[in-house]
Amino acid sequence: ELANRMAERAADVVKSLMKMGMMVTMNEAIDVDTAELVIEEFGHRIVRVSDSDVEQVIFSVDDAAENLVSRPPIVTIMGHVDHGKTSLLDAIRKGSVASGEAGGITQHIGAYQVTTDKGALLTFLDTPGHAAFTSMRARGANVTDIVVLVVAADDAVMPQTVEAIKHAKAAGVPMIVAINKMDKHGANPTKVRTDLLQHEIVVEAMSGDVQDVEVSAKTGLGLDNLLEAIALQAEILELKANPNRNAAAAVIEAKLDVGRGPVATVLVQNGTLRRGDIFVVGEQWGKVRALINDKGDRVDEAGPSSPVEVLGLSGTPQAGDVLNVVETEAQAREIADYREKAAKDKRAAVGAATTLEQLMAKAKADKNVSELPIIVKADVQGSAEAIVQAMEKIGNDEVRVRVLHYGVGAITDSDVGLAEASNVPIIGFNVRANASARQSANQKGVEIRYYSIIYDLVDDIKAAASGLLKAEV
């Protein structure tokens, strides 16, 4: 398994183990530390998928550069309600069907692919908005490569536009601005561009480096330009994957279908998923009985960035779960059982929270963490800014406090979502969380700390940051 994941010969791995004095055979289980040594010996980089996976000695090994080929970008559309996200997704999909693609009738499976006039393939996630985006990210699945921020030209920047910007920034995903509803009387794209300046988005039309495209989902105006802008951004990102390895894929939708049993739509992130593959996905496992693409066709395989429906699961996984192809059914079952048990234990542990203390503990375990990220909400703009300034002064070259997001007003669901996704605590200064945010923070185990005196806050954060410093030495 380890050899397979490193794309090395099993015999070479056994040889390397023997050199370390371990007389093992090919099918012998080895412990995590030994596995790490071997991986380093072969010059690969180790990525621990998660703690439960470490127990099972599953590694996600970086693919050697020569095996990588470019893959299509995965695009999520975000923006304020009624600014035209759904219309834009529909228009893009229809445009591609009209231009003579096989099939004609498209199937809603949660994502679809289109080809630009110049032949670039693009994958769109069919669930617009940042709620899905953040909850996926909270589960560890960063599937989006590019965010298209839709802003209606007759309405300009609105609260959810701002939230979408924050979510995209927190995830480190580049944005393209689609100025929609250009067909409308009173469309004012200049206002959109100047509004965006206030949120540190300088579009190309204002000599910045964020691409902006004027479109109309209604008339189809500018859609080609938008697709080309996405293709260009994708080229800059140099997105790559290795199609010749066992697949890893992220679940974007899952349901229990009356006729077909559990069905999951996945986006292949690396490798190629094939019929007959044995896999584990979250707490479920299975054997691929059928793959169905976004045109409704049965296919034998799906390569990087392709969306497909997978049939043949033991149960329904959750959006954000990662599907990994493994070698044997026994292995798949074992990992799924382990995860089910671990998840039960976790649910049993009361208030598994992201507290400052836990963040410190995590920092101690992971030598690379030298940042203490926080989210700040305050009663007035002036105190929010004063807090941000005070926070940024804390720390030195080795440790610093990073304010991931700050704002004015009560702590909302959106703040809690961002905190959960980024695994950071929320600081409330002279503000409280609203009822629904409080409830969801409890459920998600997000810590909210309240302060009314700035010195208290600074002291606490200093203590936390110096904890980090000690962890470093």
The footprint of ligand GDP (CB under 6 A) covers: 79, 81-87, 128, 180-181, 183-184, 216-218
CA distance 405 to 375: 5
Least distance from C-beta 326 to ligand GDP, angstroms? 39
Q: Which is nearer to ligand GDP, 155 or 420 (CB)?
A: 155
73 is in an annotated binding site: no
Rounded to a whole number of angstroms, the CA Rg of the chain reads 24
Distance CA(89)–CA(233), nearest Å, equals 18
82 is in an annotated binding site: yes
Q: Whose Cβ is closer to ligand GDP: residue 130's or residue 166's?
A: 130
Asked if 323 contacts 281 with a C-beta cutoff of 8 angstroms, the reply is yes
Looking at the Cβ atoms of 167 and 181, the one nearer to ligand GDP is: 181
Nearest residue to ligand GDP, using CB?
Answer: 84
360 is in an annotated binding site: no
CB of 165 to ligand GDP, least distance (A): 15
User: Is residue 250 within 8 Å of 323, Cβ to Cβ?
Assistant: yes
First-to-final CA distance of the chain: 36
Q: Any known ligand binding at 80?
A: yes
- Do residues 422 and 359 make contact, with C-beta atoms less than 8 angstroms apart? no
Nearest approach, Cβ of 93 to ligand GDP (angstroms)? 13
Among residues 28, 36, 27, the alpha carbon closest in space to that of 54 is found at 36
Q: Which two tokens stand for residue 312?
A: 């043949």
At closest approach, how far in Å is the CB of 190 from ligand GDP? 17
Tokens 């690379």 correspond to 368
Helices (DSSP H) in 104-172: which residue ranges? Answer: 130-138, 159-171
Give the distance from CA 469 to its chain's centroid. Answer: 29
Minimum Å gap between C-beta 136 and ligand GDP is: 18
172 is in an annotated binding site: no
> Shortest distance, CB of residue 170 to ligand GDP, whole angstroms?
21
Backbone angles phi, psi at 111, to 5 degrees: -160, 155
Cα pseudo-dihedral 248, 249, 251, 255, rounded to 10: -90
Query: Tokens 């007003």 — which residue?
Result: 409
79 is annotated as contributing to ligand binding: yes
Which CB, 128 or 407, lies closer to ligand GDP?
128
Q: Output 83 or 166, the one with its CB closest to ligand GDP.
A: 83
| CA separation for the pair 71, 298 (Å, rounded) | 21
Is 84 annotated for ligand binding?
Answer: yes
Residue 127 C-beta: closest distance to ligand GDP, Å: 11
DSSP strands (E only) in 136-243: 146-152, 175-180, 212-214, 240-241
- Farthest-apart Cα atoms in the chain, separation: 77
5 or 181, CB closer to ligand GDP?
A: 181
Whichever of 71 and 85 has its CB closer to ligand GDP, that residue is 85
By beta-carbon proximity to ligand GDP, the closer residue of 36 and 154 is 154
Least distance (Å) between residue 162 CB and ligand GDP: 15
Residues that constitute the known binding site: 79-86, 126-130, 180-183
Residues that constitute the known binding site for GTP: 79-86, 126-130, 180-183
